[in-house]
Structure 1
Amino acid sequence: MALRLVFCGTPQFAVPTLLALIDAGHEIALVLTQPDRPGGRGMQLLTPPIKQIAEAAGLEILQPEKIKNNQELRERLTAISPDAIIVVAYGRIIPKWMLDLPRFGNINLHGSLLPSYRGAAPIQWAIANGETATGNTTMRIDEGLDTGAMFLQRELPIGPEDTAEDLYPQLAQMGAGLMVETLAGLEAGTLPLIPQDDSRSSLAPILTREDGMVDFSRTASEIYNRWRGFQPWPGAWTNLDGKKLAVAKLSHSPAKHENAPPGEVLAHQGRLWAACGQGTWIEIWSSSLRAKSVCRPPTSSAAIR
């Protein structure tokens, strides 16, 4: 049976779910997405991916700057009387009046195996912390931070070289099917709510530029995992000879060293290595390094900081 839905989402991650709901025959009565914002090198006005899909599908779209005390939006949603409000990477805190409106509540697709990695960047932090698996969870939103009771979960392995860019489309596609399955179970009355175990929770806070700064006191594996998790932003960066060095790629070695302090660099045959914590080494690839500077043997003061 088709449900009457309001869909809230903004980035590309939300697109497969919206398309899957349309394909499943559900009525998308309204799409809420973030306003167009300037971005890119030219700071041109950028349209959210969800808006582009909604326009192509002929759906009604609203892009409110604020929703908590937005009386016009409240009246519009009340008039729609949706069976459920679907939230996928919308980028807004859902106010209580929206939570209480639909009969099935506000249903969120979250890119982690809750209660692990509650917060804004679950995919990135799972990889950065060296996890070997992540996944998706559908849950009923409450007033906490990703603390609502869960419907369904599906796991996805994380390969040793997978980056956040690799996993995003996989999780987005897998999550779309999980949301369709969740709605079918809700309509059939066969889907129980599972409370989260708060004692097992962990956080995935929003990323900052400083998260990308390489701390060479960490082991090479830890640094490599953080680089994988923080793609494409904030990436990884450090300072060399007083200048910022953007790291394009990293690889680590099982070899150990005894005397080199963390941050000491070794240039050999056109390759740049840095000493890390616990006697480990990491190889640094950067487009900002000239070949002749990479090949120059380090002096006693040659270090990355």
Structure 2
Amino acid sequence: MMTRAVVFAYHDVGVRCLKTLLSHGIDVALVVTHRDRADENIWFASVADTAADYGIEVITPDDPDTPEVLDRVRAAHPDLLFSFYYRHLLGTALLDSAPLGAFNMHGSLLPAYRGRVPVNWALIHGETETGATLHAMTSKPDNGAIVDQMAVPILCDDDAADVFAKITVAAEIVLSRSLPALAAGRATLTAQDLSRGGYFGGRRPEDGHLDPAWDAARLHNFIRALTRPFPGAFASLAGRQLRIWRSFRAPFPVGVPRPACASLMAAGGTLWLLAANGQALRLTDAELDGQPLDAAAFHTLFDQQTLELA
């Protein structure tokens, strides 16, 4: 008898995990997803479009924890329930609707980085590794027992999009190798040691302000964590908004005095971000008030070699 599932999903991980279920012969009876918001940069694939390609019924409730949604889920008679980057917590009644269990795919190596935007937070903190974790869902976010997880490396200049692409593949692999045991009701679950990780909240565009007191490594991590398709890291430069999209660690320029705080400098055809700890970043993509800023533009706009960030 074919195993049936109801899937709550969004984003690239949602698309790839949905396709993984279908490739394993899981009968996906219903997909619950989000309507794309007009004020959001939709840079990722559409779960709704993918479900339509396969003729799967789709609903997009603003709130999944309503009697109407619960009735739709129960009417689908799922054996398993999955959440793949769906943005709302699911209530106990929904979690109990599937006799073989309800499982979530999270973009970190739980118990580390529970909660929102784990890829961005891992980069901000300079991690060299993260991953994807499939775990049982409970009424509390990301704290259920682990089915399986897979690590991926974070290279020194990887940005959030690079890391998210790796996690998407890891999520597909983790789900694929876990499905036979889940469908048979024989999966081995391992309780999380929640003392080994913390919970992180969501981030807003205004949270992207660079602190001029940070060292070069922290500035670099912050920039690559928030670069496109995210809103970007920014600071004030001579009363104007500087937004930095890409940086590379580099030797501090010879003969340049160490600044008291993070400062922007143009020299040798290169735009530099000089940190207060005597280290430097070479900037290859930056904007000032929304216009491209490179070394030549800096010399045109300012009569000073170095300007402090605020």
Alignment of 1:120-199 (within 5 A): 120-199=116-195
**SS across alignment from 2:135:** strand
| Cα distance in 1 for residues equivalent to 2:263 and 2:225 | 24
Which residue number in structure 1 is paired with residue 59 of structure 2?
62
Amino acid at match of 2:64: I
SS in 1 for 2:119: helix
Assess if the C-alpha contact under 8 Å between 2:266 and 2:295 holds in 1. no
Structure 1 residues 247 and 47 mapped into 2: Cα distance closer, same or farther (>3 Å)? closer
* Paired residues of 1:37 and 1:47 also in contact (CA < 8 A): no
- Check 1:8–1:290 CA distance in 2 against 1; reply closer, same or farther (3 A cut): same
Q: Are the structure 2 counterparts of residues 18 and 179 from structure 1 closer, same or farther at C-alpha, using a change threshold of 3 Å?
A: same
Match of 2:115 in 1: 119
Would you say how many aligned residue pairs link Structure 1 and Structure 2?
301
- Cα distance in 1 for residues equivalent to 2:49 and 2:80: 22
| Other structure's SS at 2:38 match | strand
More deviation, 88-97/235-244 = 235-244
Q: What is the SS of the residue equivalent to 2:178?
A: helix
1:276 matched to 2:275: yes
Structure 1 position 50 matched with structure 2 position 47:
yes
Q: What is the deviation of 1:173?
A: 2.1
Counterpart of 2:270, as a letter, is R
**Aligned residue for 2:222?**
226
Matches within 5 A, 1:255-266: 255=252, 259-266=258-265
Q: Is the 8 A contact 1:139 1:151 kept in 2?
A: yes
In 2, Cα distance between equivalents of 1:275 and 1:164? 23
Query: Matched residues in 2 for 1:202 and 1:177: separation?
Result: 25
Counterpart CA distance in 1 for 2:216 and 2:102 is 42
2: CA distance, partners of 1:212 / 1:255 = 25
Tell me, in whole angstroms, the C-alpha distance in 2 between the residues paired with 1:229 and 1:5.
Answer: 34
Alpha-carbon deviations, 1:30-86, whole Å to 9, x = none?
Answer: 000012432469xxx999700010011110001111122x21111121222211111
- Name the residue aligned to 1:304: 309
Given candidates 238, 243, 253, the residue that maps to 2:240 is 243
Is the aligned partner of 1:103 residue 2:99? yes
Amino acid at match of 2:271: L
| Paired residue secondary structure (1:54) | helix
- State whether residues 127 and 226 of structure 1, in contact with CA within 8 Å, keep that contact through their aligned partners in structure 2: yes
Deviates more, 1:192-201 or 1:289-298: 289-298
Secondary structure class of the residue paired with 1:278: coil
Asked if the contact 2:270/2:294 (under 8 Å) is kept, the reply is no
CA-to-aligned-CA distance 1:247-290 (integer Å, 9 cap, x gap): 12112224387641112332212322233232222233324226
Partner of 2:298: 294
CA–CA distance in 2 between the matches of 1:167 and 1:207? 17
Supply the distance in 2 between the matched residues of 1:261 and 1:218 (Cα, whole angstroms): 11
Partner residue of 1:253 out of 250, 253, 259: 250
Task: Tell me which moved more, 25-34 or 159-168.
Answer: 159-168
CA spacing shift, 1:157–1:264, aligned 2, 3 Å: closer
CA contact (8 A) 1:37 1:46 kept: no
Rounded to whole Å, the distance in 2 between the matches of 1:294 and 1:48 is 38
Structure 1 counterpart SS, 2:277:
helix
Partner of 1:13: 13
In structure 1, C-alpha distance between the alignment counterparts of 2:44 and 2:135, rounded to whole Å: 28
Partner in structure 2 of residue 34 of structure 1: 34
Determine if contact 1:150/1:195 at 8 Å carries over to the other structure. Answer: yes
In structure 2, C-alpha distance between the alignment counterparts of 1:267 and 1:147, rounded to whole Å: 48
CA-to-partner distance for each residue in 1:136-183, whole Å, 9 max, x for gaps? 110001111211111101111111111110122221122122113222
Change (3 A) 1:46 1:244: closer
* Whole-angstrom distance in 2 between the partners of 1:15 and 1:208: 25
Q: SS of the residue aligned with 2:123?
A: helix
Given that 1:31 and 1:62 are in contact with CA atoms closer than 8 Å, whether structure 2 keeps it comes out as yes
- In structure 2, the gaps of 5 or more residues are none
Distance 1:206 1:60 in 2: 30
Contact 1:270 1:295 in 2 (8 A): no
